[in-house]
Amino acid sequence: VSFIRHGQGYHNLAAEEWTKVEKPGVPYSLETDPEYRYLDPELTELGQQQAKALQARAAALPDVEVIIVSPMRRATQTALIGFERTVAAGVPVVAQELCHETAGKHTCDKRLSLTDLKAQFPQVDYSECASSEEDPYWGDGLTRETPEGIAERGAKFVSWLLRRPEQRIVVAAHSGWLLALFNAVLEVQQADGSTDLRDWFATGEMRTALVGPRSAGGSSL
C-alpha cells in the first residue's frame, strides 16, 4: 500500500503566513474564519507541483489496482494528479469517508457536500460516502475530534481495506490521520535506518509498505 499525504493546500499556506506574523491560533478556526473561506481547500500551485512530482514514482507502480482517497478535495486532487496515467488507464478511484482528516473546529477540515464533490470529480466513486450528503464528522463544528476518535476510524479503515480483493493499493489522505494510523493502529516493523513510518508526513510525501493482518488480530506492516 502506498500512503500519500496531500500536497500543500491553501490552508497550509495560510497557516505558514499566519505563523510568520506571530498571530495566535490558526487562520481556519470558526473564530478566525467565520465565512468559511478555507472550506475544503484545494491545492495551491506548489501543492499541484508536489502532486506532479509523484508521477515518476507512480510510473514505477504500473500494477496499482485501486486508488483510495479521502473525499476532501486536497487529497483527491493529489491522487488524481500524481496518478494521472493510472486513472486514465481505468484504475478505479474510490473515496472513503474513514480517511477524513481530524474533524471539527477547523473550517479546512469540513468537506463539501457530496453533490458538489461529484460534480467536480466525476471520475471518483463516492458510494462509500453515500450515507451522508454533508460532512458526517463536522457536528456542531465547535469540538475537535479526539485522537481516540481518529484512531478508531483508522482501525475501521484498515479492516475495510483488508477485506478488499486488491493487493496493490494507493491511499491519499492527511497528516493527522496518517499519524494516528501508523502510531495507534498499525504495528510497525521495519529495517533499521529506513524512514520511520511513524514520523509526520510532509506535504506531497508518499511511503509504501506491506500491510497485513496480525495472527492475534489487528493489523501490522
DSSP alpha helix (H) spans, the chain = 10-20, 45-52, 55-59, 73-82, 84-88, 114-120, 147-163, 175-180
Q: What is the maximum span of the chain, computed from C-alpha positions, in angstroms?
A: 51
Q: What is the pLDDT of residues 45-66, one digit of tens each?
A: 999 999 999 999 999 998 999 9
Amino acid 218: pLDDT? 53
Residue 27: the pLDDT is: 96
Confidence (pLDDT) at 192: 77
Q: Hey, is 124 helix, strand or coil?
A: strand
On average, the pLDDT of the chain sits at 94
Closest CA to 77 of 154, 177, 9, 137: 9
Cβ-based neighbours of 20, under 8 Å, separated by 6 or more = none
Segments of the chain scoring below 50 in pLDDT: none
Instruction: Give the C-alpha distances (Å, rounded to integers) separating 67 from 125, 137, 187, 216.
Output: 10, 22, 23, 28
pTM for this one? Answer: 0.93
